[in-house]
Amino acid sequence: MTDPREAVIVHWPGQRLPADRLAELLAAYHLRTEAEKGSAVADADKLPDRYRAEISDPRAAFADDTVLMALSGDTAAGCLVLTAPAGGHSEIKRLWTDPVFRGRGVASALIVAALAHAAENGVGTVRLSVWEWRAGAIALYERLGFIVAESWETRDRLVCMERTV
């Protein structure tokens, strides 16, 4: 998978979500994030309740949102959650690319698909927040047209970004 077009987006609203694959990606995302925040845990069972709920039942956790997955063949390569529109904007959450597939355009393909979906559904702005130490992610968002915005987050060390669609 060297071409971003090879990242096949497999879920749009109304389609069946491969929850087991999504759960694996979400677990990896949350475990990595907790470790980066200095709160490493050994496995997903030790994550905070709110994260375990996403992993154990992603269909329920993201019932109102759009969940995108990228597949390489039958292998889950990445995921992204685009929240339901509210106040003219949606938010990108849980963007994760399996480390095996990094550098192959998976994250870019997921973001581009999310932006297209947002535009098709009348969303004016797509927002996101990212930990300040994730310089690679911030650079990716900037390449895709996101700019740093005034923070709407109460948690320290989060960079808020947005892009008009």
Average pLDDT of the residues of the chain: 88
Q: What is the pLDDT of residue 5?
A: 42
pLDDT tens per residue, range 11-29: 555 556 567 888 999 999 9
Comparing CA positions, the residue from 70, 68, 71 lying closest to residue 83 is 68
Helix/strand/coil for 97 = strand
Q: pLDDT band for position 9 (50/70/90)?
A: low
DSSP secondary structure letter of residue 5: G
Comparing CA positions, the residue from 157, 6, 19, 132 lying closest to residue 79 is 19
Residues 104-133 have a mean pLDDT of 94
Q: What is the pLDDT of residue 2?
A: 41
- Residue ranges of alpha helices (H) inside the chain are 19-36, 49-56, 58-61, 106-120, 135-143
